[in-house]
A and B are shown apart, each in its own frame.
Chain A
Amino acid sequence: MMQIALKLSFVFYGMAVGLTLVGFLLNKKWKFLYSGHSLLAGWAASTAYIISRWYLGGRAPMSNQYESMIFLIWAFVAAFLVFRKFSVRDMEWLSPWTGMVALLALGSASFLESDITPLVPALQSNWLLIHVSTVMTGYGALLLSFLGGAVLLFTDKGQTEKRQGLESITYRSCLVGFWLLSMGIITGAVWANSAWGSYWSWDPKETWSLITWLYYAVAIHLRRTRGWREDKFAHLMIWGFVLVMFTYFGVNYLMSGLHSYGRGR
């Protein structure tokens, strides 16, 4: 059941890309519509996969790099689907790109250690679920702002309406991501205080999340007060997500600290 759900999510995310390509080749109107439906199906399969992993392990599946990455992809697609629900026209043609990103990320995750292992003492806390899920959902939203920004840069200046839509998505997902990132850092601090007696230890992961947080805070100020919109803001979001990726992956592999479980075994 668990493996079938995982395979199905691969297939559906692949279809989200494939259907658009076919639609383009045959010049069909449905090209984005079905792509969006496939994403929804892929997301449902991912949900089933996470739930069955949760059930089998008897705990929230968020204890290592593999599990957190599966959740990140889930949150990213969820963020896309939510935004799409509110403005189909602005979002629909991001569907194949979302599918592509989800597919590539799932593929990379499959190289990671995916066994369900018992939790080490430090992770046995309800804060694990709260902390990891907020941070990963935040990363998912910031990934969407990265994607929006990247597509915006390649969109012809003449397509004003399309660009405005993309601009708005990029900014909104940045706000959602920043809110969740703040929440994630705070829940991490509260957890650290209840497990180790200090809410902040300047551990590399903490330091780099603070760097990311401050970067996005500056980006939001630049947009609100200095008018950094469209291409300028898109660049900010692209570089911001590079920071997010470094905080998420780079720190795990290059530095050791309190978050070393992330690395897997």
Chain B
Amino acid sequence: MTIQTKKEATALIVTITGRMDAVTAPEYEKKFSELITAGETFFIVDFEQVDYISSAGLRVLLATAKKVKGVSGKILLANIKGGVKEVFDISGFGTLFPMHDSLASALSASGC
């Protein structure tokens, strides 16, 4: 798993590569916490390179969303596809998070 970040105007684009499962979830959660502590409030998470997500990965997103809300920020998700999208749809997470087909769409929706 890897996490890359890139600042785009006020948004931080977080690109995740690999699996979001019970093994990697704690590391993702830690990374998001660090970014929030460092003052980031507005996240666009790019799922283009994510090929698997389980409930452990979904919980990280939920926990992160709560923290982001606590600092009056927001979190958008982009490029969720295939089996990962199915997991979002089945779990109902598809309606909890604003999802965009591309980074460009997420950026324009955010007004960046």
Interaction A to B: no
Interface residues of A (CB under 8 A from B): none
